[in-house]
Every structure is written in C-alpha cells, then in structure tokens.
Amino acid sequence: MYCLRVGNDNNTNTMKIEQFIESVFPSQKPDELARKARGEHTDEMKAKEAEARKDMMYIMGAMLIVLLALTGIMVSYPPN
C-alpha cells in the first residue's frame, strides 16, 4: 500500500487507513474472478443472488403500492 511506502512512523494510523481502504475497496481473489468468468456459482454466490432478488421484489412491491396510492389520491380529488 502507498501508506507503507511513505514510511509513516505512526503505525496505528497506517493500519486504520488500510482497514478503511479495504472496507471501501475489498481485495479481489483470483479464483473467485475465474469462477465468475466461467459462469460457475458457489453456494454463497447463489445465496447472495437469491437474497438480492428477494430484496428487489420487496422494493418493487413498495414502489407499486406507493404508485397506486398516489394515483388513487389524484383520481379521487379532481381539480375544481
């Protein structure tokens, strides 16, 4: 990492910076990338995809309910 090349004397700050950067930009594992390129999915990847699909359905359902509620309000109160 660049922080280590700079040669900071304060290692705790360097470690905090490294942890922050790793949390924002996680390291990519070559074997995972190769599996993804071949189209193979692990059980963990399948579970994440299923959860994402489920979450997307909840979001779409909430949007539909809001849309129908707003449409109902606008139709029931016509302009004078």
Residues 5 and 28 in one domain: yes
Residues 49 and 35 in one domain: no
Predicted confidence at residue 9, as pLDDT, reads 57
Predicted confidence at residue 75, as pLDDT, reads 92
pTM: 0.50
Q: Are 1 and 25 in contact (CB under 8 A)?
A: no
Q: Are 42 and 48 in contact (CB under 8 A)?
A: no
Residues 53 and 33 in one domain: no
What digits encode the pLDDT tens for the residues 17-59? Answer: 888 888 888 787 888 777 777 877 778 878 888 999 999 999 9
Residues 35 and 15 in one domain: yes
Predicted confidence at residue 72, as pLDDT, reads 94
CA-CA distance, 41 to 51, in Å (whole number)?
A: 15
pLDDT grade for 6, boundaries at 50, 70 and 90: low
Residues 35 and 6 in one domain: yes
Domain span at residue 13 reads 1-40
